Amino acid sequence: MNEPQQKWTETIETHHSLLDLKLKEVWRYKDLIYMFVKRDFISSFKQTILGPIWFFVNPILTTIVYLIVFGKIANLSTDGTPPILFYLAGVTLWNYFSSCLLGTSSTFVGNANMFGKVYFPRLVTPISIVISNLMRLGVQFLLFILGWLYYFSKGEVKPNIWILATPFLIFLMAVFALGVGMIFSSLTTKYKDLTMLLGFGVSLYMYATPVIYPTSALPGIFRKLSFYNPLTGIFECFKYAWFGAGDFSPLMLGISSAIIFLLFMVGIVIFNKIEKSFMDTV
């Protein structure tokens, strides 16, 4: 008598497309993503006195420092926008991007022990980092909204229809951080020095991004080159949308989007390739 054919509930394969995101499999592990997000949120403030209040303290203190150093001492232009609001917007966006990038860049090295013991889609880890940082962004964005409402009531900012693009801008930042983070995460499995280089590079990258200055303040060639910085279109569109001031054009955002999605695809290819053998090098 023929025995019924067995059907496997889980199949783990080493051969798959380098462009395969395995989104269906990631969705099946959505509970694991939730657990990682919860873990990151709790561990961030474990054994701290102020707890989640640090979400507010960080951007406030950073904005005050930028206001003194770049606004009062360096006297940098803010395109007529109230300096406090200008710097707060830049700090809020930059904190989200840098946190996502630095977090995803340590995916393989930081989770090697867990990856070596149990299987789950490796993409779950960087996605959970992006989501957990999105929660922090939400709290800091609330602080920005309160400041914006104050200056809006005084008529010092003039928002426009581009304000509706805010979710898309945040999405672009997340994709950019995820793509570049996956690239560095894959490379650091062999070259540990890149971890320290990335931390230094992110600090320098902030000064190449219109966080503390508008692109209109850049001279000649530097202004044109800034258009090819993927974050320039995002930051300028955000400030133009909420403040009604800045050097923004749809072409600038289009260039940013194209570069970001290209880097994201490169990140997927490298991530999927290294994923198969990273345990041999970590």
pLDDT, greater one: 144 or 268 = 144
Condensed to tens digits (0 to 9), the pLDDT of residues 88-114 reads 999 999 999 999 998 888 776 666 667
pLDDT of 281 strictly over 60: no
pLDDT for 92 equals 94
pLDDT of 1 strictly over 70: no
pLDDT of 120 strictly over 70: no
pLDDT for 247 equals 81
* 3-state DSSP of the chain: CCCCCCCCCCCCCCCCCCCCCCHHHHHHCHHHHHHHHHHHHHHHCCCCCCHHHHHHHHHHHHHHHHHHHHHHHCCCCCCCCCHHHHHHHHHHHHHHHHHHHHHHCCHHHHCHHHHCCCCCCCCHHHHHHHHHHHHHHHHHHHHHHHHHHHHHHCCCCCCCHHHHHHHHHHHHHHHHHHHHHHHHHHHCCCCCHHHHHHHHHHHHHHHCCCCCCCHHHCCHHHHHHHCCCHHHHHHHHHHHHHHCCCCCCHHHHHHHHHHHHHHHHHHHHHHHHHHCCHHHCC
**pTM reported for the whole predicted model:** 0.84
What integer is the mean pLDDT of 129-133? 88
pLDDT > 90 in the chain, percent? 35
pLDDT of 87 strictly over 70: yes
pLDDT for 280 equals 47
Condensed to tens digits (0 to 9), the pLDDT of residues 33-74 reads 788 887 777 776 665 556 667 778 888 899 999 999 998 888
Condensed to tens digits (0 to 9), the pLDDT of residues 232-245 reads 999 999 999 999 88
pLDDT for 22 equals 66
Condensed to tens digits (0 to 9), the pLDDT of residues 171-202 reads 999 999 999 988 888 887 777 767 778 888 89
What integer is the mean pLDDT of 217-225? 85
pLDDT of 148 strictly over 90: yes
